[in-house]
Amino acid sequence: MSAIATVDNPLLKGQGLPPFADIQPEHVVSAMTQLLAELESELANLAANVTPTWSGLVEPIDRLSERLRWSWGIVGHLMGVKNSPELRTAYETVQPQVVEFYNKFSQSQPLYAAFKALRASETWNTLVDAQKRIVEAAIRDAELSGVGLAGEQRDRFNAIQLELAELTTKFSNNVLDATKAFSLTLTSPDEVEGLPPSWLSLAAQAARAAGEEKATPEIGPWRVTLDFPSYLPFMQHGKRRDLREKLYRAFISRASSGDLDNTPLIEKILQLRREKANLLGFNSYAELSLASKMAPSVDAVETLSEELRRASYDAAKQDLEDLRTFAASKGAPEGSNLQHWDIAFWAERQREEKFAFSAEELRPYFPLPQVLDGLFTLVNKLFGVTVTAADGQAPVWHEDVRYFQIADETGEAIAYFYLDPYSRPAEKRGGAWMDDCIGRAKMTTHEGTVATRKPVAYLVCNQTPPVDGKPSLMTFNEVETLFHEFGHGLQHMLTKVDDAGAAGINNVEWDAVELPSQFMENWCYHQETLMGMAKHYETGETLPEHYYQKLIAARNYMSGSAMLRQLHFGLVDLELHHRYQPGGTETASDVRQRIAKTTTVLPPLPEDAFLCSFGHIFAGGYAAGYYSYKWAEVLSADAFGAFEEAGLDNPQALTETGKRFRNTVLALGGSQHPMDVFKSFRGREPSTEPLLRHSGLAA
């Protein structure tokens, strides 16, 4: 019976392009249940018979994980782009079993032992670099998940893992509940003065949802909450200073008192993380975190952060001075004595006056087809690859989804990608992302011939759909997002690595993964690239020069403040996970206030409880990793710097530098340490100079 089910169930096809037209939510539970049962027995079989060789260990693991990845990857993809109550229920039904299987897999003692034996064996030196790195990473990840521990230590480790999972979930729930617990219902028009129509609609809708049935955007009442889409515009545009103060104070005290107080959780989480790190032989949790990242040491992160801090501090101070002068000149009642709840408001007023254009004005110059042309022309020039439409060659999950082919210089197809460009709020998650549909791998077929599986990427954006027969007209921000995701896609699609575990973005360290994506964003500001694609969709007129100049200027608006803010978060995170001793005389909040002395220009209020809602590090994956944002930005800016040095207006220099970028960063993926990859592209270690220069902060 199950054999028939396998044939009929499109989710069990296990290879090739996903047959999207045939896949239905009702396939999920039966496919995954059957697949996991088969994989369980294969895993048990492998664990019992494993040999410590590449073909006896890594290849069977690859086959096994590829089957799971193929089926579960499609389900995950559909959750993002074609969500429905049926699919969600199916997903939630099988997800715990999938997680359990992954845990079993990553904590398998026999496989861990085999990886170690392989590393110690004579065949080790016959492996290529990519293979060695795959084995090293497997050993490292197993050890970080506690596999190397025994007896009491192992029990304690597992108990810590469980407790941390509970505490971090509780932390995040507290933030959610505290955010939800606060709202203000505004009833008089003067209370919402300054707010844009989109906000008024949102606030009236929120009021209706809360029982004010007759609320309208024009007459109110309006409900403002601490959710970012409600909170931020109010701080930026709300003219009532007293209300901004009230909201601000509520925002910074979220989850810091009563039943929802996260203060004791922070203490406990930091303490358990330190203990966990010690069990694994690290001095601090920060050291544990860095063990799997590109940054070599806490010292290196601090040195880099300090370099950026010194370069941005005075600029941030100047930003604040300028803002004070500006506010005073506009007759602000608070004059030059700006408080926290005034900053976003005056920053927006100053931005409007300085740059005097709205995101909407630029849309007609960026119709999607032209932007794609511009992007494809650029990658052809830089990397020698040709992108062509291949619609109809692959089943798609929605009629708006496009399919493209990438060919190399010889005309041979080397990769493909789907592009799902438009927002579809009813079924599609917000944001933008690149995901791996099929990864590159060299494989031996049943007939014994060697074939290379070509990579296929999903590129998903959420831009404005075409309306009234017009093409999709993009904001500049949407253009940047498309370039960003395409950068991730290029690393996935132009990889030359044959071993699946290190091809494309696989096995690339977390703090280096944004290199190609942020690198591509730079080209949106490259005059030739931008002007080449920015043409009015009706008249064909090129984007007027004054807009270009404003885009360039707006890019660095208050950039010192923005950089200092990120450094503040990153340094607080690092200090808490490295030197801080929970239970000592200094509290976590004291640590933050101490670091604020050198990383803020307007010190936090004494009662500021920001840490209580810092979910990135207490409930997300950024613990002792928040610095990654800046780390990767240094890399990407410096990579672009190589093109600037070569000459942005020199086609031959661009081609040569592009080729080098393709052969290193894009081709090598996770097969080498990212520092080695970077150095083989740049000829030296990364420098902060290009990032500072691009941000207008160079000395």
Q: Which residues are catalytic?
A: 485
Least spacing, CB of residue 197 vs Zn ion, in Å: 31
Q: Mark the segment that binds Zn ion (CB under 5 A) among 80-88, 346-354, 511-519, 641-649.
A: 511-519
Reduced to 3 states (helix: H, G, I; strand: E, B; else coil), residue 472 is coil
Peptide bond into 221 cis (omega under 30): yes
In terms of CB distance, is 272 or 520 closer to Zn ion?
520
Residue 191 or 480 having the CB closest to Zn ion: 480
Interacting positions 436-455 with Zn ion (CB under 5 A): none
Site for Zn ion in 374-403 (CB under 5 A): none
Q: Binding to Zn ion by residue 491, rule CB under 5 A?
A: no
Q: Answer yes or no whether residue 312 interacts with Zn ion by CB under 5 A.
A: no
User: In angstroms, what is the minimal distance from the CB of 484 to Zn ion?
Assistant: 6
State which residue, 435 or 498, has the beta carbon closest to Zn ion: 435
The answer for residues whose C-beta is within 8 angstroms of residue 26's C-beta and 6 or more apart is 86, 90
Task: Measure the CA dihedral 508/510/513/514, to 10°.
Answer: -170
| Shortest reach from residue 347's CB to Zn ion, in Å | 25
- Taking the complex as a whole, the smallest distance from the CB of residue 488 to Zn ion amounts, in Å, to 6
Interface of this chain with Zn ion, residues 218 to 237, rule: CB under 5 A: none
d(CA 509, CA 294): 6
User: Which of the ranges 331-339, 513-521, 523-531, 687-695 carries the binding residues for Zn ion, by CB under 5 A?
Assistant: 513-521
Per-residue DSSP letters for 255-312?
T-SGGG--HHHHHHHHHHHHHHHHHTT-SSHHHHHHTTSSS--HHHHHHHHHHHHHHH
Binding to Zn ion by CB under 5 A, coded x per residue (else -) over 271-290, reads --------------------
670 in Cβ contact with 141 (< 8 Å): no
Task: State the minimum distance, in angstroms, from the CB of residue 375 to Zn ion.
Answer: 16
Task: Show contacts with Zn ion in window 23-62 (CB under 5 A).
Answer: none
**What is the DSSP code (8-state) at residue 161?**
H
Number of residues written out for the chain = 699
Q: How far is the CB of 432 from Zn ion (least distance, A)?
A: 8
Q: Check residue 445 and give left, alpha or beta (phi > 0: left; psi -120 to 50: alpha).
A: beta
Helix or strand or coil: residue 59? Answer: helix
| C-alpha closest to that of 212 among 200, 227, 222, 226 | 222
Residue 517 in the binding site for Zn ion (CB under 5 A): yes
CB under 5 A: which stretch of 51-59, 512-520, 554-562, 615-623 binds Zn ion?
Answer: 512-520
468: left (phi over 0), alpha (psi -120 to 50) or beta: left
Tokens of 280: 């694994």
Residues whose CB is less than 8 angstroms from the CB of residue 544 and which lie 6 or more positions away in sequence, other chains included: none
Q: Which residue is nearest to Zn ion (CB)?
A: 517
Question: How far, in Å, are 148, 175, 229, 417, 542 from residue 396 at the CA level?
Answer: 44, 38, 32, 11, 34
For Zn ion, how many residues bind (rule: CB under 5 A)? 1
Name the minimum Å distance from CB 77 to Zn ion.
17
Q: Is 511 helix (H, G, I), strand (E, B) or coil?
A: helix
Q: Which is nearer to Zn ion, 362 or 434 (CB)?
A: 434
Q: Which lies closer to Zn ion via its Cβ, residue 25 or residue 669? A: 669
Which residue lies nearer to Zn ion by CB, 204 or 632? 632
CB of 236 vs Zn ion, minimal distance in Å = 25
Question: Phi and psi at residue 321, in whole multiples of 5°?
Answer: -55, -50
Cβ proximity to Zn ion: between 191 and 521 the closer is 521
H or E element that contains 450 = strand 450-453
**CA neighbor of 71 nearest in space, from 91, 85, 86, 56:** 91
Binding span for Zn ion by CB under 5 A among 360-368, 404-412, 510-518, 545-553? 510-518
Given the complex with Zn ion, which of 332 and 635 has the nearer CB atom? Answer: 635
Q: Which stretch binds Zn ion (CB under 5 A): 9-17, 270-278, 467-475, 514-522?
A: 514-522
Residues that bind Zn ion (CB under 5 A): 517
